[in-house]
Amino acid sequence: MRRFGLLTGGGDCPGLNAVIWSVVRGAARAGVEIVGVVDGFEGLVGGENGLNIRTLGSADVRNIFNQGGTVLGTTNRGNPFKYVTVRDGQSQIEDRGDEVVANIAQLGLEGLIAIGGDGSLAIAHELGERGARVIGVPKTIDNDLGSTDSTFGFYTAVEVAMEALDRLRTTGESHDRVMILEVMGRYAGWIALHAGLVGGAHVVLIPEIPYDINKVLGQVRQRWHEDRRNFTLIVVAEGAFPAGGKTSLVESAGAGTNARLGGAGHQLEVELREAFTHGWDRPMVPEVRTTVLGHIQRGGSPVAYDRLISLRFGAEAVRLALAGEWGKMVCLRGTQIESVPLVDGIRKPHLVETDSQLVRHARTVGISFGD
């Protein structure tokens, strides 16, 4: 019986289980067995831990297509090329890549379908360089891959942020407040830009366009002139930062902790409060409230659009594998699922271009980027 491997890598993203469901069902219909690798590439590193796999049939994936998370589990550890082991209290970094390639062969897998972000796809690509047959399924909540129109998970994140904005809007309006919503996006502002646009934000701050706090203040002031109210709805990507002397919190504090323990949203709140205290020339100092959406954007059931992309990515990945077209990554082009060389998936991230049509459209309807 033919066998393909399947694994998920990296952070959570709504639609992972839908890809798994689709791959398993598609393979089953073609008479191919799917060997699921547990906890990402970690499960393929042999040695003292042993392999961590489980065969997946249709019954194993019943009803998971609309569930968040991944039944295969995953972990951020487990880069086989920089594998960390602890021996005698000493941590060592080893290259276990060849073992992984050997294990794939030993398991009788024709090849491996790897669902993951740029990190996981880079590992998959490197495994390919060393002789493994791999197909990539791109996953990024941040939408920062240039080789596909979009991926699953992103529109769910935007929907969650949009629903938050719909709620914050009503309070901001009736209670006359500056409402800040911090969304994900350390390097790319796609979630902030899309959520801000569909959620009716007045100001959108993204890493690609360093902001000038005075321009943001200018918007609050203009809101007063237009409507006699302080209500201003601001979406800020966690990686947004002010232009000039100050640097991004992400740069200054190191990734991993900072964005959570006082990120761009709270920094902006502090800057605004300070500005309102000194030199605010309106009768009433605006109150500011900040919400940090955090992981709510990454979990839970995917919206229809993301389920569609996930299921089609899975079906197309199976088709490629059956046809022996390894070394490819599935991608979305318009309404079709196509494929590109896997290496295309790991190029430098696709960021928001400041002169793009999308940014222009946002400016057309009145959004300020604080620039």
Considering only residues 229 through 248, tell me which ones interact with a copy of itself, judged by CB under 8 A: none
Q: Tell me if 299 contacts a copy of itself by CB under 8 A.
A: yes
Looking at residues 253 to 272 of the shown chain, list those that interact with a copy of itself (rule: CB under 8 A).
260-262, 266, 269-270
Supply the minimum distance, in Å, between the C-beta of residue 308 and a copy of itself. Answer: 5
C-alpha atoms less than 13 angstroms from C-alpha of 268 in its C-beta half-sphere: 38
Q: Determine which one of 142, 144, 306, 344 is catalytic.
A: 142
Q: Tell me if 318 contacts a copy of itself by CB under 8 A.
A: yes
CA dist 194 and 181 (Å) reads 13
CA dist 330 and 316 (Å) reads 7
State the pairing for strand pair 53-56/32-37. antiparallel
Looking at residues 105 to 164 of the shown chain, list those that interact with a copy of itself (rule: CB under 8 A).
149-150, 155, 158-160, 162-164
Which residue number, 30 or 243, has a Cβ lying nearer to a copy of itself?
A: 30
Structure tokens at 281: 């020339």
Report helix, strand or coil for 107: coil
Cβ neighbours for 191, distance < 8 A, ≥ 6 positions apart: 141, 142, 143, 154, 157, 158, 161, 183, 184, 185, 237, 297
Looking at residues 15 to 74 of the shown chain, list those that interact with a copy of itself (rule: CB under 8 A).
16, 21-22, 25-26, 29, 58, 63, 65-74
Looking at residues 274 to 293 of the shown chain, list those that interact with a copy of itself (rule: CB under 8 A).
287, 289-293
Which residue number, 34 or 71, has a Cβ lying nearer to a copy of itself?
A: 71
Residue range at the interface with a copy of itself (CB under 8 A); choices 90-98, 113-121, 173-181, 245-253: 173-181
CA dist 345 and 124 (Å) reads 10
Instruction: Please confirm, yes or no, whether 88 is among the known catalytic residues.
Output: no
Looking at residues 69 to 98 of the shown chain, list those that interact with a copy of itself (rule: CB under 8 A).
69-76
Structure tokens at 82: 């920089």
Supply the minimum distance, in Å, between the C-beta of residue 251 and a copy of itself. Answer: 21
Structure tokens at 323: 């046809």
